[in-house]
Structure 1
Amino acid sequence: MDVSQRYREAWEGFWAETSDTPGEAIWDSDPSLTSVPDSELLLPYADATLPVVDLGCGNGTQTRYLATRFARAIGVDLSHAAIAHARRADTGRAVEFEQLNLVDHDAVRALRERTGDTNVYMRAVIHQSEPQDRPAVAGAVAELLGERGRAFVAELTPASKTVLRQAAAGPDGPPAKLRRVFDHGLRPAGAGDKEVPELLRAAGLRILADGDTALVQTERLPDGTRIDLPARWYILARD
């Protein structure tokens, strides 16, 4: 199974045209606003002596923080260009990064065979995936967890579309970082309110805890207001 050529090229194009400057990607927020609070939600449920796999790691900003909280950290992303960014930024060589297509079940299983049961961190991947690929993405989470792993998954809610529309409606159009997302054909907030928990359960995952949150962006509106996108988080285990 594979993602569409359009989807693959959209992500390769985005990351190929992104510099190594922290925060240039609109979602590349400082860990203090993302993986730090996310880890505080996950760690009471997780065995930190197990590895953690960051699915859709991008340039690895959050993965590098996760490496300070778990015994081993692995970042994977569909985009070769993203992985190249991540490896350049990991000057301390604290993280393992590799290209991985989450809808390729054989590749995901091979990763789990190498790592054993793992914890999973996944931030805003399902909503961005094409609809036909979302069950496989949820299935990748379940595959990697095994019996002992626990997952933190955060996904945008449909309310984010309203925030994005408002951000794009200014007299000058979307702010520059948001415009880049649209220009590359990326489609945020594509999943419905009920779709994400249904996908997770259908993949054999049990929701241990959940709650509302916001995915903090690195872009601001013309009046200086930071763009925060409504989202929901889930702590998950295999059934």
Structure 2
Amino acid sequence: MSVTNRYRDAWEGFWSEAPEEPGAVIWDAEPALTAERHLALFRPHLHDPHLPVVDLGCGNGRQTRFLAEHFPRAVGVDLSGTAVELARRQDRAGRAEFAQLDATDPAAVRALHERLGDANVYVRGVIHQSEPADRRPVAEAVATLLGSRGRAFLVELAESAKEVLRGLAQSPAGPPAKLRPVLAHGLTPAEVADAAFDGLFRSAGLTVLASGELPLSLTEFTPEGERIELPAWWLMVGPDGPDGPLPDPR
């Protein structure tokens, strides 16, 4: 199984038109507002902090480069080859590795796991905008990459974010400039119900070990100059062991 051509083409089109400067993409907030905050929640739950980290859906690699400073090896993967090329260009210091990956292709995911071994996984905003048929395969990809020792940290928009985005899109002045390309390419954020995540990961052999609310900071601002934030959830998931879920280290 693999993603539809329409979905792949939508992301290729988006990244081929995206400006390269930091913050030009609506979710491309600086790591201090994103991955740095997430790592503070991620790190206490790691079963093995010495494993590589895979940034699944890395986009232009801005967060991957940050993660490379805190893990022995960081690999950013994305469905879009254009995004991967952009990530490589922007990683001038060569801190991370980047590769194209269709996370719904089990053979490709297994090949990555064979190359890296068990890994910790960081996922920011991938499942909530995936097409319905792709969500379980993405969760299964996370499980494959974790193996028996990895842990995954995910940040996904809450379903209430859809109303916030609709309000922005229907503003009398029109959608904010950085939201327009998302809408123009038919990308559909905040499409997963909050209650669906537990079952989604359980079906992939994973257990939600911890979760909480944490707004997702955008690079757009209101007319009053306030940074726009979207309601979001963070989840820490790990593989089920032979006698149940791995213990939470807290």
Say whether the fold is shared (TM-score over 0.5). Answer: yes
Partner of 1:179: 180
1:132 Cα deviation from its structure 2 partner:
0.4
Q: Aligned partner of 1:9: which letter?
A: D
1:55 Cα deviation from its structure 2 partner:
0.2
1:102 Cα deviation from its structure 2 partner:
0.2
- 8 Å contact 1:128–1:188 — kept in the other structure? yes
The whole-number CA distance in structure 2 between the counterparts of 1:165 and 1:186 is 13
Question: Structure 1, residues 142-193: CA drift from partner, whole Å, max 9, x if none?
Answer: 0000111111011111110111112122212100101110001100001111
- 8 Å contact 1:126–1:196 — kept in the other structure? no
Partner of 2:153: 152
Question: Structure 1, residues 112-146: CA drift from partner, whole Å, max 9, x if none?
Answer: 00100000000110011100010000001100001
Q: Aligned partner of 1:71: which letter?
A: P
Q: Provide the secondary structure at the position in 2 that maps to 1:43.
A: helix
Matched residues, percent identical?
A: 56
Partner of 2:2: 2
For the aligned residue pairs, the C-alpha RMSD in angstroms reads 0.8
Question: Structure 1, residues 2-48: CA drift from partner, whole Å, max 9, x if none?
Answer: 11111001000000001210011100010000100101111112122
Q: Aligned partner of 1:218: which letter?
A: T
1:52 aligns with 2:45: no
The whole-number CA distance in structure 1 between the counterparts of 2:75 and 2:214 is 25
The whole-number CA distance in structure 1 between the counterparts of 2:144 and 2:194 is 24
- 8 Å contact 1:48–1:69 — kept in the other structure? no
Partner of 1:131: 132
1:222 Cα deviation from its structure 2 partner:
2.1
Structure 2 residue runs of 5 or longer lacking an equivalent are: 241-250
1:214 aligns with 2:221: no
Partner of 1:234: 235
TM superposition outliers: structure 1 runs of 4+ over 3 Å: none
Q: Aligned partner of 1:171: which letter?
A: P
Q: Number of residue pairs matched?
A: 239
The whole-number CA distance in structure 1 between the counterparts of 2:173 and 2:208 is 42
The whole-number CA distance in structure 2 between the counterparts of 1:91 and 1:189 is 33
The whole-number CA distance in structure 1 between the counterparts of 2:204 and 2:217 is 28
The whole-number CA distance in structure 1 between the counterparts of 2:198 and 2:30 is 27
Q: Provide the secondary structure at the position in 1 that maps to 2:180.
A: helix
The whole-number CA distance in structure 2 between the counterparts of 1:11 and 1:195 is 24
Partner of 1:111: 112
Q: Aligned partner of 2:120: which letter?
A: N
The whole-number CA distance in structure 1 between the counterparts of 2:52 and 2:12 is 27
- 8 Å contact 1:156–1:231 — kept in the other structure? yes
The whole-number CA distance in structure 2 between the counterparts of 1:222 and 1:8 is 33
Q: Aligned partner of 2:21: which letter?
A: T
* 1:181-200 map, 5 Å: 181-200=182-201
1:216 Cα deviation from its structure 2 partner:
0.6
Partner of 2:35: 35
1:18 aligns with 2:13: no
- 8 Å contact 1:109–1:143 — kept in the other structure? yes
- 8 Å contact 1:204–1:238 — kept in the other structure? yes
The whole-number CA distance in structure 1 between the counterparts of 2:86 and 2:227 is 25
1:227 Cα deviation from its structure 2 partner:
1.5
The whole-number CA distance in structure 2 between the counterparts of 1:127 and 1:89 is 26
So what's the TM-score if we normalise by structure 2?
Answer: 0.94
1:226 Cα deviation from its structure 2 partner:
1.7
The whole-number CA distance in structure 1 between the counterparts of 2:228 and 2:203 is 32
Structure 1 residue runs of 5 or longer lacking an equivalent are: none
